[in-house]
Each structure stands twice: as structure tokens, then as C-alpha cells.
């Protein structure tokens, strides 16, 4: 019987362990997930195993996935399942809490629902504790193959800006950028242009560091206008990359869930303020950092990832907030072919649809 029509109901038996796969399918919200009266044991994120750890709530950015074990040990009862947004800056957000229900078998409809208290909308500490609790297994069976030497040391600043707009009512429009470059989508696919050697579609001069360094989380430049281009960063096959993703404070600092196509990466470090290479690299976790494909960069802070470029092709790197992606907060890595057919981009299928 569906005792809560219109809401999601999860019917469970007492004394069982359930595996929950939780996906944040929101477009523009980082979310907390919680089940009243129950702890969850995290065992996987983004399809990579983690050392199990217990928590009362999950934190997921758009596109992130988390697998957790739920033990049903409460006998009978009806418990609220809730999601609520996270936003620790001045950007407005809908604070509505979405709810479903966990219902033990043999629970009478008249029994009151057990409610829960969600983390505050600006609970930065909660997101930090969750992120820092994630660790790879790093076992003989599941080794954490973290690159210990780095061929490309990159620093990408991410944030928003303002560009002039002659057709806009106020004469300007919001844009977003990486290293002050707003990505322009080409009419011909970059991978197609790369494979066939088509000229004029993209350039491979994306800067590995900001062209004009400044106090990224302090006083911002007076000129908020960005450059535009379809630029990629070229990587040799099997080269290793350290990428520090540095949030900035242009207009408003914000937590950015950032996604890399084509690769898993290791999240080796994170912090608030400006990244300090002399101090912060000493704090890296190079033993068992969590492996994933999307990482939330702290508001007015930074996150450091490492990966090996062993997947040839063209791979986007972008903010997973849909509004920021459409505003141009993205770029692409072009990974060159290796030496053999197993290390090279395969030809397009004969029936590939034409744009």
C-alpha cells in the first residue's frame, strides 16, 4: 500500500542491509541527503570503491554518485528521507527540502513520521568533513595508482564575469571562465577536427596558468570582462597531470562541482583561500586519496587533482552547474595518440550521424 501518495516510498524489512545508489541529478544544486534515525556507510563514489565510513548525511554535487549501506534496525516506523541544498555564499538558492519516506514493513499508517534536521544551507564544515573522510581502498586488489611524478603542473582559476552585450537590456551579460577564458562552442566537433586535421576549429594554446596572476580570493580586478576562444590544452599520451582548481571571488565566490570527461582522477588536496604551492603540496594525500570524476571546489578555495592522460581523444573539463557550463566555464584537454592501435583514437563508425 502506498501510504504517502505522490512521494517516494522505500519499503524495507527490519534486520536487513540495503545498498543505496544515490545520484544528484539536479542541474544547479549541491545537495545533502539524509534518512531520519539512520546512519549510512559510504562504500563508493563515482564508481570507485572507498574505505567504508559512517555518516548521518551524504553530500553530492550535480552529477556525483555515492553508494552507501543502510542497516534497517529500528523494528517498525516511518522515517523521512530528505534532500536539501547547500550554498555558502551570497548567491540565492531555493531552500526547499525534498522528502520521501522509508517505511518498515508492518508499520501502521497511523504511526507518526519520524522527522530529521537537515544541515544548515551554509554548512561548509559539513561538506568539508564529508570530503575529507573519503579515501581510496589502496589495497593489493584495488591499488590507488596516484601519479607521484608530474609532467604538467596546471593552475586553473574558475569563476564568473561580466561581458558587454549590445542586445541585452542592461548592456551586459554574465559569463563564466577558466583562466579568464570563456569557452566558445564550435560548429564542428573538436574531436572531429582533431581526427581529420580540420583547421580553424580550435587552437591548442589554452594557458596552463592564469595569464595575469592576482589575489584570486581577495580584492578582484576592476575589469571583469573575459577573453573568448575555443582553446584546448594538449597532453602527450600517458603523461601525468596535476591540476589545481582555484575558485575566485569575482562577483561572488561559489562552490563549483567540477567534472572531467574521459578520466578518473585522484583528489589529493583541498583548502580555503589561495593555493600556496610551497605549503599546500606538503599536505597532499598521495597514499589513499579518493578516486572520482567530479569534485566540489570549496567556495573561495581550491582543490588539487592528479590523473594520467592514458585515454586519447578530446575531453571536456567543466563546472557541473548547468548555468555555469552554458556561460562558458569549460575547456578541453586534447590527449594525443600513443604508439599503437590500443593507444589511439578509433575511427568514427560508418553510421555516425552528421550534424
| Third-level CATH fold of 152-343 | Immunoglobulin-like (2.60.40)
Backbone angles phi, psi at 37, to 5 degrees: 75, 5
- Number of helices (H), then strands (E), in the chain: 4, 23
Alpha-carbon span 315 to 110, nearest angstrom: 53
Per-residue pLDDT of the chain (355 residues; tens, 9 = 90+): 345 667 999 999 999 999 999 999 999 999 999 999 999 999 999 999 999 999 999 999 999 999 999 999 999 999 999 999 999 988 878 888 999 999 999 999 999 999 999 999 999 999 999 999 999 999 999 999 999 999 999 999 999 989 998 888 888 999 999 999 999 999 999 999 999 999 999 999 999 999 999 999 998 888 888 999 999 999 999 999 999 999 999 888 999 999 999 999 999 999 999 999 999 999 999 999 999 999 999 999 999 999 999 999 999 999 999 999 999 999 999 999 999 888 999 998 888 887 6
Phi, psi of 66 (to 5 degrees): -140, 135
Using CA atoms, how far residue 41 sits from 33, 34, 68, 120, in Å, is 13, 12, 5, 22
Q: Is the pTM of this model over 0.85?
A: yes
Distance CA 185, CA 191 (A): 12
Q: Tell me how crowded residue 111 is: count the other CB atoms within 10 A of its CB.
A: 13
Is the fold of 9-131 the same as that of 152-343? yes
| Listed residue (21, 13, 6) closest to 98, CA to CA | 6
9-131 placed in CATH 2.60.40.420: yes
Amino acid at each position: 500500500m502506498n501510504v504517502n501518495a505522490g512521494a517516494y516510498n522505500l519499503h524495507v524489512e527490519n534486520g536487513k542491509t540495503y545498498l543505496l545508489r544515490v545520484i544528484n541529478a539536479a542541474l544547479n544544486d549541491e545537495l545533502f541527503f539524509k534518512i531520519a534515525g539512520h546512519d549510512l556507510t559510504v562504500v563508493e563514489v563515482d564508481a570507485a570503491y572507498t574505505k567504508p565510513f559512517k555518516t548521518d548525511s551524504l553530500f553530492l554535487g550535480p552529477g556525483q554518485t555515492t553508494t552507501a549501506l543502510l542497516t534497517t534496525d529500528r523494528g517498525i516506523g516511518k522515517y523521512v528521507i530528505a534532500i536539501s541544498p547547500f550554498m555558502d555564499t551570497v548567491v540565492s538558492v531555493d531552500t526547499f527540502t525534498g522528502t520521501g519516506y522509508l517505511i518498515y514493513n508492518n508499520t501502521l499508517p497511523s504511526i507518526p513520521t519520524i522527522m530529521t534536521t537537515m544541515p544548515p544551507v551554509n554548512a561548509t564544515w559539513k561538506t568539508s568533513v564529508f570530503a575529507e573522510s573519503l579515501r581510496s581502498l589502496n589495497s593489493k586488489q584495488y591499488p590507488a595508482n596516484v601519479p607521484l611524478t608530474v609532467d604538467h603542473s596546471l593552475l586553473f582559476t574558475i569563476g564568473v564575469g561580466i561581458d558587454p552585450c549590445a542586445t541585452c537590456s542592461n548592456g551586459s551579460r554574465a559569463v563564466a571562465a577558466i583562466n579568464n577564458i570563456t569557452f566558445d562552442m564550435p560548429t564542428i566537433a573538436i574531436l572531429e577536427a582533431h581526427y581529420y586535421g580540420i583547421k580553424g576549429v580550435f587552437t591548442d594554446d589554452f594557458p596552463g596558468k592564469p595569464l595575469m596572476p592576482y589575489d584570486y580570493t581577495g580584492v578582484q580586478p576592476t575589469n571583469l570582462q573575459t577573453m573568448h576562444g575555443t582553446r584546448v590544452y594538449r597532453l602527450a599520451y600517458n603523461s601525468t597531470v596535476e591540476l589545481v582548481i582555484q575558485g575566485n571571488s569575482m562577483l561572488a565566490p561559489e562552490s563549483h562541482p567540477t567534472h572531467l570527461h574521459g578520466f578518473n582522477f585522484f583528489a589529493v588536496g583541498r583548502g580555503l583561500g589561495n593555493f600556496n604551492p610551497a605549503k599546500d603540496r606538503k599536505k597532499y594525500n598521495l597514499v589513499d586519496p579518493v578516486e572520482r570524476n567530479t569534485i566540489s571546489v570549496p567556495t573561495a578555495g581550491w582543490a588539487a587533482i592528479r590523473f594520467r592522460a592514458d585515454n586519447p581523444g578530446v575531453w571536456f573539463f567543466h563546472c557541473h552547474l548547468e548555468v555555469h557550463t552554458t556561460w562558458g566555464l569549460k575547456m578541453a584537454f586534447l590527449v594525443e595518440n600513443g604508439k599503437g592501435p590500443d593507444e589511439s583514437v578509433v575511427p568514427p563508425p560508418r553510421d555516425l550521424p552528421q550534424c
